[in-house]
């Protein structure tokens, strides 16, 4: 008798009754135990211990240390707070120019998202990128800025893009403040780090984290509206923000059922009132007219009665 393969056991052989659910459950359990668990263990052992320390801790609500000193793309020493003095929300990122891949993917993803928006850096918001490499020069950061502004395609917005370099202490202090955990790997002379952009309020308060290397334009826009505390965006943006909440699991804003029901209920009530108020006013007017008509008719009847009585006498 030929032995059946795992696929045959799961699907059932041709012309035979399909395998019972209990056997399927047993087979899948065995497969998970024999195949998946050892692979996961091997992967866990394969990840260097130092890389397990890399990640991002959500520090939403914390205020950035705005007194930190950096060097801008003109070689001038500035305070981080100087880039938060415009009253606009800020998109903050931590990357480095010699990154072999991830940093470029992250900034390319941000540029693509901003290109699909009608808002511009330097007008509704600012972009601040801080290099995590203390060896990076301001000249190198300047080239990095030019590359991404050129890719963005709106050269007139270059004043809203700020690429900063700094000392190990200033970089580490900022990274700790936003929960950005990274490590230098001597063997490869690279930095191990995660990818995200951080949306900050105009006063330097951390408002929102957008993870990964792709950022949906609507998510970026609503995050900026939220961080801007109503100072940017249209009335419609505020309504949309009220109806949506940020889902950290998906990295997007998702509709809130209760809020949508509230909006729907309010619109329904408003529609009813708009339709019923004129009806009530007309009805009230008609009632008043009918009442006056009855009074006139009653007065007329009384006069006729008086005339009739006079003629009788």
Q: Is 275 helix (H, G, I), strand (E, B) or coil?
A: helix
Report the C-alpha gap between 241 and 131 in whole angstroms.
32
Quick one: tokens of 129?
A: 């990128």
Please report which helix (H) or strand (E) contains residue 44, including its range: helix 37-46
Domain boundaries, the chain: 6-46, 55-255
Distance of alpha carbon 2 from alpha carbon 176, whole angstroms = 62
pLDDT of residue 307: 53
CA distance readout (Å), 52 to 47, 56, 91: 7, 11, 27
Pairing of strands 126-131, 161-164: parallel
| pLDDT at residue 244, as a whole number | 45
pLDDT in tens, 78-114: 999 999 999 999 999 999 999 999 999 999 999 999 9
The reported pLDDT for the residue numbered 289 is 62
Q: In the block, which residue shows the tokens 């060097």?
A: 71
Map tokens 């590359």 to a residue: 147
Q: What is the DSSP code (8-state) at residue 64?
A: P
**Coil, helix or strand for 185?**
strand
Total-model pTM = 0.64
Q: Tell me the per-residue pLDDT of 249-258, one tens digit each, with 9 for 90 and over.
A: 555 545 544 4
pLDDT value of residue 51: 63
Site of tokens 């729907």: 264
* Strands across the sheet containing 126-131: 161-164, 126-131, 90-95, 196-200, 206-211
Quick one: 55-255 is in which CATH superfamily?
A: Glutaredoxin (3.40.30.10)
Question: Which tokens is 283 given?
Answer: 């009805």
pLDDT mean by block of 10 residues, the chain; 313 residues: 39 42 47 45 52 87 97 98 95 96 96 96 97 98 97 96 98 98 93 95 94 93 84 44 50 49 58 68 65 61 60 59
């Amino acid at each position: 008798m030929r032995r059946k393969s795992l696929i045959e056991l799961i699907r059932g052989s041709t012309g035979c009754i399909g395998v019972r659910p209990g056997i399927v459950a047993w087979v899948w359990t065995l497969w998970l135990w024999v195949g998946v668990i050892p692979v996961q263990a091997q992967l866990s052992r394969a990840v260097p211990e130092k890389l397990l320390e890399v990640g991002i801790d959500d520090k939403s609500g914390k205020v950035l240390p705005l007194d930190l000193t950096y060097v801008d793309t003109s070689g001038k020493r500035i305070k981080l707070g100087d880039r938060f003095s415009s009253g606009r929300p800020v998109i903050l990122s931590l990357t480095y120019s010699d990154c072999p891949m991830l940093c470029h993917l992250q900034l390319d993803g941000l540029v693509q998202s901003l290109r699909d928006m009608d808002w511009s850096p330097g007008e509704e918001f600012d972009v601040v990128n801080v290099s995590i490499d203390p060896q990076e020069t301001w000249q190198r950061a300047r080239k990095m800025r030019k590359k991404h502004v050129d890719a963005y395609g709106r050269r007139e917005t270059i004043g809203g893009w700020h690429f900063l370099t700094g000392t190990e202490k200033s970089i580490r202090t900022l990274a700790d403040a936003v929960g950005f955990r990274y490590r230098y790997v001597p063997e490869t002379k690279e930095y191990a780090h995660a990818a995200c952009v951080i949306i900050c309020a105009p006063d330097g308060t951390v408002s929102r984290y957008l993870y990964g290397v792709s950022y949906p334009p609507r998510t970026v826009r609503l995050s900026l509206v939220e961080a801007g505390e109503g100072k940017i965006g249209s009335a419609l943006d505020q309504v949309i923000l009220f109806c949506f909440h940020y889902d950290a699991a998906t990295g997007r804003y998702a509709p809130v059922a209760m809020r949508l029901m509230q909006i729907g209920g309010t619109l329904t009530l408003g529609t009813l009132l708009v339709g019923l108020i004129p009806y009530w006013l007309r009805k009230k007017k008609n009632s008043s007219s009918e009442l006056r008509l009855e009074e006139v008719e009653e007065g007329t009847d009384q006069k006729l009665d008086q005339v009739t009585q006079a003629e009788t006498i």
